[in-house]
Amino acid sequence: MTTHPALQSGNVAVITGAADGIGLAVAKKLSSLGLKVCVADIDGDKLATAAESLNGALAVTTDVSKIEAVQRLKEQVASTFGPVNVLMNNAGIGRGTGSWTDYDGWQTTLKVNLWGVINGIHAFVPDMVAHGAPGLVINTGSKQGITCPPGNPAYNVSKAAIRAATEALAHSLRTTDGCLVSAHLLVPGFTYTGMMRQFLPEKPDSAWTPEQVAAFMLESVERGDFYILCPDNDVTREIDNKRMEWSVGDLIHNRPALSRWHPDYEAEFADFMKKP
């Protein structure tokens, strides 16, 4: 049972991208703690099915890329449940892009992944701060927004920007007099969600379940962690730390961009990962 003051029975939580995956797992966990939960997603049919698995949840079909839709979501939650204590900006897509190809993919990815978070912050956070009660804002980022591997630059850009936006939000909340709301960045590891299921019919042994991510997230929030960097069944925190250290080293040591994937640095990177 959590003792975090924002996660008490009777409080209100809003979770976007909650029709399945991590969002739904978190919604179920918070519902089991007695919170009044609103789940939002653009897929109305899947959302309705998800809401059936939750006790008394409010389901609101929402396109988070549009501020007007997120404002309507806020109004529906306020009229149904009252002030919001927990906001999880989790909605996201993983459409593939290239550096100079699929312009429409860039537009769509950034509108959903990045602007969905920005819209959630602008719609909900001012009222959460003004309410004067303990609150949590949790934004879902990605390890791809930290190490930026080749292959899907629009996704990387969106998740890197979410990190920057959430860091700024945390600082703004922390320096606002009387504010009891904190911000946190969820960084999942390899997680078997609906996004993965379309490519992998069965869960790989290396992947965590959404339920594992939800549990780890709540444990991290309880500790007061800002960066909620999840391991999985294949990648430990130690491996993540080394990979992040190498990525930052590109700038410090003036190596080529993304040198981890540069053939001239393959052996050096392998040796670096072997060092304690």
- Over residues 210-230, the pLDDT tens digits come to 999 999 999 999 999 999 999
Can you tell me whether residue 224 is helix, strand or coil?
coil
Q: Which residue in 130, 237, 221 sits closest to 184, CA to CA?
A: 221
What is the set of active-site residues? 155
How many C-beta atoms lie closer than 10 Å to residue 270's C-beta? 9
Rounded CA gap, 169 and 233, in Å? 31
Which mean pLDDT values do the consecutive 10-residue runs of the chain (276 residues) have?
90 98 98 97 96 94 98 98 98 94 97 98 98 98 97 97 98 98 97 83 94 98 97 97 98 98 98 94
The pLDDT value recorded for residue 150 is 97
* Full set of structural domains in the chain with CATH: 5-234 (3.40.50.720), 236-276 (no CATH)
Instruction: Kindly state the helix (H) or strand (E) to which residue 149 belongs, with its residue range.
Output: none
* DSSP β-ladder status, 58-61 and 181-187: unpaired
The pLDDT value recorded for residue 96 is 87
The pLDDT value recorded for residue 196 is 78
The pLDDT value recorded for residue 95 is 86
The pLDDT value recorded for residue 1 is 63
